Structure formats: C-alpha cells, structure tokens
Amino acid sequence: MVTPHSLLTEARVELDAARRLLLDASADNVRKSTGHLARVADRLKDIRVEKNPVLAVEVDHLRKELKQIGVLLQSAAGFHAERAELLTSTGDAYTPTGEPVVAPPPPAHVLEG
C-alpha cells in the first residue's frame, strides 16, 4: 500500500541518488540525475499533508533540498553547455584521433517544487 511515508522515503532515495551523481557533475551524470529529480518531484506532488503537520515539515524540507539541487544542476548544465560551445567554436575542435568534436546538446531541466 502506498502511504505518504512510503512516498517520502522513495523521494529521499531518489534525491540521494541524484545527489551522488552530481558529486561528479559530468555531462552524463547531469543527464542521468534529471530522471531521479523528476521522480522526487512526482513523489512530493502525490503526498497529502493536510492532517499531518510533522509530515508537512518533512515534505517542506525535502522540497527545499530539491530546489537547492535544482540550482546546482542548472549551474552544472550551464557549465557544460558553455564548454561545448567553446569547444565547437575553436578551429582545433578535434579529438586526438583527428575526429571533429561533436558537442552533445545541453540537457533540458524543468524542476518545479
């Protein structure tokens, strides 16, 4: 049975997974973390706290953490987008084997808390 506490636990697990990925904020990890963060937002959206003030405080705290990680995620994505732009704008944007560097598109992030 899905309970508010089980949803909160699932949200915490997903948030921790995203946080671990973002400790090494490579472009790949930034992309991978977005799924975890979307699941956190979904879990938080489904929790009803009207009759449980303790749960309301916990959900509020988790939402604040989600927003903080969202800011860090956007910063990392911006860094990688600027880096990719810089690499592709230089005349010597080639790999050591002579292949042209193809910059991946920056990840799209939409986080609502």
Return per-residue pLDDT of the chain as tens, 113 residues.
889 889 999 999 999 999 999 888 887 888 898 899 999 999 998 888 888 898 899 999 999 998 888 888 888 878 877 877 776 665 566 677 777 777 667 666 656 55
> What pLDDT is attached to residue 91?
55
Tell me the pTM: 0.67
Q: Which residues contact 12 (CB under 8 A, 6 or more apart)?
A: 62
d(CA 88, CA 103): 7
> What pLDDT is attached to residue 57?
93
d(CA 73, CA 102): 22
d(CA 44, CA 39): 9
